[in-house]
Amino acid sequence: MKFPISAALLAAITLTALSLPGRAGPEGNPNGQPYANEPGGTMAVKPATLGTVTYDPYGSPAPFADMQAGQAAINPPPPLPVPPMPVPNPPLRPR
């Protein structure tokens, strides 16, 4: 029982590795993009600081349009009428 399970696991891992993009597949690197560890790759870019942001927990929040109370909140419409309850059918008489 161990052999068929391990064979199936090995086949699944092999098929998964072949379907991954990049060096694992039989086609190599079809689009020619640099890998992460090559010059021009994702990791080859020098890290940069985008700036610092200060936070004041006691400051007033910035005014957003969605934070303003609209007409529906100030003057809500009247509630919808409740539909009447349907009249239940009379029970059937046994024959």
11-51 pLDDT, tens digit per residue, is: 888 777 666 655 545 566 777 777 777 777 776 567 778 78
Residue 45 near residue 38, CB atoms below 8 Å: no
Q: What is the pTM of this model?
A: 0.23
**What is the Cα–Cα distance from 86 to 69, expressed in whole angstroms?**
39
Termini Cα distance of the chain: 63
H-state helical runs in 1-95: 2-19, 71-74
Q: For the segment 51-73, what is each residue's pLDDT rounded down to a tens digit? A: 887 888 898 877 776 666 667 77
Q: In sequence order, what are the residues at sequence separation of 6 or more whose Cβ sits closer than 8 angstroms to the Cβ of residue 61?
A: 67
